[in-house]
Structure 1
Amino acid sequence: MTTLARRTPVPATPPPPPRTAEAEIRRHELAAFLRHRREHIAPEQVGLPRGHRRRTPGLRREEVAQLSAVGVTWYTWLEQARDIQVSGQVLDALARTLLLDPSERAHLFQLAGAPDPSPATVCPSVTPALRALLEQVEPFPAALQNSRYDILAYNSAYSLLLCDLDAVPPGDRNCLLLSYTHEEWRSSIVHLEEATRTMAARFRAAMAGHLAEPAWKTLLKRLRTESPAFCEDWDRHEVVAHRTKRKEIINRHVGRLVVDHTDLWLSPGLGPRMVTYVPADEETRARLEKLHAIALERRT
């Protein structure tokens, strides 16, 4: 009697993920954006002669491809909204060829769903109106921050809240970095360990959407290099959301402050925000008024 061996069923190859309607819309928006920008750049703006037989408004596709060092067919597919992969380096070259300003460049990378390898150093969210608003909330300390905890702008009261922020190099004005590495900033925070652990957890939650972005990776590497305490908190893999919280600060100019920390978001997502510190009692209010006066005197 012959025994037939049982065949192990071979699992079927999973089908490719379906093309979402959102991805298709993004491709068509990207194609239209590229065509529009290409058609509105004169050849002279990129060092090309106009010639007498030019019928295409602006640049030709092959000219954009040549200036960006990409294939003509590939670029044509991009303008036809084909489902192709686009790297950050190629998008960077296209942005330079098409003379995109910072807002247009950010829009290009957002449509392509790719991280920007060279993000703009100037945050477009810091408008003159927002700077004026920072001044209007004084004597309450307030600052504009992004989701990476970079301090983008701040008012006079905030400049002396936790340290002499004007004396900190612009590249080091990051709340997370200062909370782990700057001694005066750290000594001003009551319940420091709880505060830093919470910030690390918030940073981890925010970084989930920016894992490939150079600026985020650079900050993380610096924190891990310069602060063993951050490494310990980071390795907990904790994640928390932003929320209003009462804080205690020991200010070297006016003493103990009890404030309510509030984040006022400037966009639908967890991006740039205005951070405000409102006094929780009358004594703190009076001390913040005194701190504001000291800051104004120092800046004059």
Structure 2
Amino acid sequence: MTVDATLTQAAISAGAGAAPRYGAAPRDDAARRAELAAFLRSRRERITPEQVGLPRGARRRTPGLRREEVAHLGAVGVTWYTWLEQARDIHVSPQVLDAVARALLLDRAERSHLFALAGTVDPLPGTECTGVSPALRQMLHQLSPFPAAVQNSRFDILAYNCTFGQLMCDLDALPEADRNSMWLAFTHPQWRASLVDLDATMRVMAAKFRASMAGHLAEPAWKALLARLTEASPEFREIWAQHEVLRPLSACKVFRHPRVGILELTASSLWTGPNPGPKVLTYTPVDDASRERLERLEKLALTGM
């Protein structure tokens, strides 16, 4: 295969937004590419297959993930990713770098370093690419019948167990883009009906969202959610205009479920890593009646009845 044919095949594999660069590069570019290649290898080798939900297999010799596994997780071409680790003189789009960062579970500092080495502006600065590991999903499952979920500071629901998935509405039936507690509290009829003190909950959530957004004002995902809420909900527009920030709220939550009745639950939050980011949100019953109703809710969720 000719060089031109090889380059064309790699570009097709990598997807739109990335194109090879021809010609010799200055010495500092070569040094930067070499550092980028070494950084990618080091990040790839530290991730176990189990962390990203892949089988280890009996004959694995590579420390951490294989190159093709990273390419698969990031939905980028294997040849393209291999060339990055070989310090080839290629230009990669921000979208491809974002996919690689997410596949390698980079934290904020590592992600910033990746884009700096690539000489490309990060379209989502400050993004934490930690994902939800299989181990954390298993923990959520083991907490059932207590409702539990992983949620980030933008109120995106990243993972949840069966009882959380049925506590306020059928989360499985929603598209991923709608699995956001802010969006559901202001727009979803069943979710809203489940919140006994809806007005206070909406105000507290909007205040927390404003406080968190102060550190993410330039990020497209935050701006998109704000615009979506502003357009969809007159209640949100009214509350948002009051500029409230982080009102205190009791840890006791009261939910109204159409099948099992009133649930009085205590909310707890646990950070999932050393830096503030996604957290595990859990609800434990205040009394025996709520515990019994949670057990009934778990059975309904598991049987689908």
Which category describes the TM-score, using the shorter chain as reference length? Answer: 0.5 to 0.7
Residue identity matched to 2:86? G
Q: For 1:131-170, what per-residue CA distance to the aligned partner results, in whole angstroms no more than 9, with x for missing partners?
A: 1101111111111111111111111111110111111121
Q: Do structure 1's residue 239 and structure 2's residue 238 form an aligned pair?
A: no
Q: Do structure 1's residue 290 and structure 2's residue 296 form an aligned pair?
A: yes
Residue 207 of structure 2 aligns with which residue?
201
Given that residues 116 and 213 in structure 1 are in contact (C-alpha distance below 8 angstroms), is that contact kept between their aligned partners in structure 2?
no
Cα separation, 1, equivalents of 2:82 and 2:187: 51
Q: Do structure 1's residue 275 and structure 2's residue 281 form an aligned pair?
A: yes
Q: For 1:204-255, what per-residue CA distance to the aligned partner results, in whole angstroms no more than 9, with x for missing partners?
A: 1111111111111110100000001111111111111787610111011100
TM-score by length of 1: 0.67
Instruction: Flag the 1:195–1:95 CA change in 2: closer, same or farther, 3 A.
Output: same
Cα separation, 2, equivalents of 1:47 and 1:133: 33
Q: Which is worse superposed, 122-131 or 106-115?
A: 106-115
Residue 166 of structure 1 aligns with which residue?
172
Residue 86 of structure 2 aligns with which residue?
58
Q: Which is worse superposed, 33-42 or 261-270?
A: 33-42
Instruction: Flag the 1:45–1:233 CA change in 2: closer, same or farther, 3 A.
Output: same
Instruction: Flag the 1:123–1:131 CA change in 2: closer, same or farther, 3 A.
Output: farther
Given that residues 163 and 184 in structure 1 are in contact (C-alpha distance below 8 angstroms), is that contact kept between their aligned partners in structure 2?
yes
Residue identity matched to 1:59? A
Q: Unmatched 5+ residue regions in structure 2?
A: 1-29, 42-66, 68-77
Residue 141 of structure 2 aligns with which residue?
135
1:271 Cα deviation from its structure 2 partner: 1.2
Instruction: Flag the 1:226–1:107 CA change in 2: closer, same or farther, 3 A.
Output: same
Cα separation, 2, equivalents of 1:290 and 1:284: 10
Identity of aligned residues (%): 42
Given that residues 256 and 262 in structure 2 are in contact (C-alpha distance below 8 angstroms), is that contact kept between their aligned partners in structure 1?
yes
Which of structures 1 and 2 has the bigger CA Rg?
1
Instruction: Flag the 1:272–1:241 CA change in 2: closer, same or farther, 3 A.
Output: farther
Residue identity matched to 1:225? E
SS in 1 for 2:177: helix
Residue identity matched to 1:223? L
Residue 157 of structure 2 aligns with which residue?
151
TM-score by length of 2: 0.66
Residue identity matched to 1:103? L
- The one of 172, 179, 189 equivalent to 2:185 is 179
Aligned runs of 1:91-106 on 2, under 5 Å?
92=94, 95=97, 101-104=103-106
Residue 263 of structure 2 aligns with which residue?
257
Given that residues 95 and 105 in structure 1 are in contact (C-alpha distance below 8 angstroms), is that contact kept between their aligned partners in structure 2?
no
Residue 189 of structure 1 aligns with which residue?
195
Cα separation, 2, equivalents of 1:253 and 1:32: 63
SS in 2 for 1:271: coil
